[in-house]
Amino acid sequence: MATDRLESRFVERLQFEVGDAEVAQELSIPRKSRRLDVVCRFGEAPVMFDALRADCSCRTVVFEHVSASLQRHHVARAWSSMAWLLWEQARPPRRGRRAPMLRPEPGERPPLGIIVTDHVSAHLHGAVPALRPTDRPGLWATPELDEGGLYVINTSEVDPTEGLAWWAWIGLARTTEQEAARLTTLLGDPNLPIDDRTRIEEALVNGQLSASPVEQETVAQRLRREGRMEGRLEGQREGRLEGRLEGRLEGRLEGRLEGRDEGRNEGRLEGRLEGRLEGRNEGRLEGRLEGRNEGRVEALLEMAMEVAPERVDELRAITDVQALQRAVFELVRR
């Protein structure tokens, strides 16, 4: 049984993500002292699986976490486990009984195995002919995965930007710096849906997922940064609204007073009203627009100064306010 802390952490985060998928944990192989860490049956695999999502959909997937250096016997056990699972799904049930996970679904593809580790033994390279490196660093796979096969994910070598950020996060981190960097990369992934990002942050904060001190601090810093940004945006919106209301009240009062004075002189009324109204409106519109843009630019540059002071001079050169806002928000989200 996966009682080790690292194995439990892997299983916990995997089960949190698969949600409503059919799951079996510690599935036993008869007459073998062997248990499978987690077995899941997916219709559509979770979004977090990213680069592996398509290959994990519409099939049963066997997940194994190896905290030690991955050796040939680990791969051999994974192959034998999948062969047993495939045989159990293919053969007629004995005495009409079969575990729910072993009942094949119509149109389901053959099982897939995924081994997650943070170190691969040098002896493994070339020892398993069918297992080859893919185009993504740290990811190995067998050919013809539609017909069943095996993935090996070496989390110490994967590039999180290659669609493997979640897999790196659930694997073993050797240092606190590595642990913080993997979580930061995952939460900062621009392709990660906001709902999924929020769900992970809340689970780490409220204890639904076990979190190390460095992970708790990483989430806390991110939430504080997002809170400051939201507060500034709300303050800007409220300030603009108050300014508009005050401007309207003052304009109406001034207009009434001036109108009364000008009304005493009927011969000059039309010229004064038209000239002043047009000039006042144009001046107010131009003044408000310039003031608003200057205020937004100053607020955005202040935000940039906090998160990336080395980029402020570059940002000052951006004349389009909308382009400047997009650039600053991109820096903040990182």
Q: Encode pLDDT of 62-72 as tens digits.
A: 888 888 888 88
Give the gyration radius of the chain's Cα atoms.
Answer: 31
Which residue has tokens 């003031």?
Answer: 291
User: By the 8 A CB rule, do 64 and 37 touch?
Assistant: yes
Q: Identify which of 51-55, 270-274, 320-324 has the greatest average pLDDT.
A: 51-55
Mean of pLDDT values over 17-34: 61
Between helices 269-307 and 321-333, what is the axis angle to 10°?
30
| Domain spans of the chain, in order of start | 5-172, 174-246, 289-334
User: By the 8 A CB rule, do 333 and 188 touch?
Assistant: yes
Task: For residue 57, give the nearest of 109, 22, 95 by alpha carbon.
Answer: 109
Q: Identify which of 22-31, 63-72, 126-135 has the greatest average pLDDT.
A: 63-72
Measured distance CA(324)–CA(244) in Å, rounded: 24
pLDDT tens for residues 35-93? 777 888 888 998 889 999 999 999 888 888 888 888 888 888 888 877 777 777 777 66
- Whole-number pLDDT of residue 2: 42
Residue 235's pLDDT band, with cuts at 50, 70 and 90, is: low
Measured distance CA(203)–CA(12) in Å, rounded: 12
- Whole-number pLDDT of residue 329: 78
- Please, what is the average pLDDT of the chain? 77
Measured distance CA(38)–CA(54) in Å, rounded: 19
User: By the 8 A CB rule, do 6 and 31 touch?
Assistant: no
Of the chain, the percentage scoring pLDDT greater than 90 comes to 6
Measured distance CA(297)–CA(3) in Å, rounded: 55
- Whole-number pLDDT of residue 301: 79
Residue 1's pLDDT band, with cuts at 50, 70 and 90, is: very low
pLDDT tens for residues 144-196? 888 888 999 998 888 888 888 888 888 877 788 888 888 888 888 888 888 88
Measured distance CA(12)–CA(144) in Å, rounded: 30
pLDDT tens for residues 6-25? 567 787 888 788 776 666 65
**DSSP string over 220-265:** HHHHHHHHHHHHHHHHHHHHHHHHHHHHHHHHHHHHHHHHHHHHT-
Three-class SS state of 113: strand
Between helices 213-263 and 176-187, what is the axis angle to 10°?
40
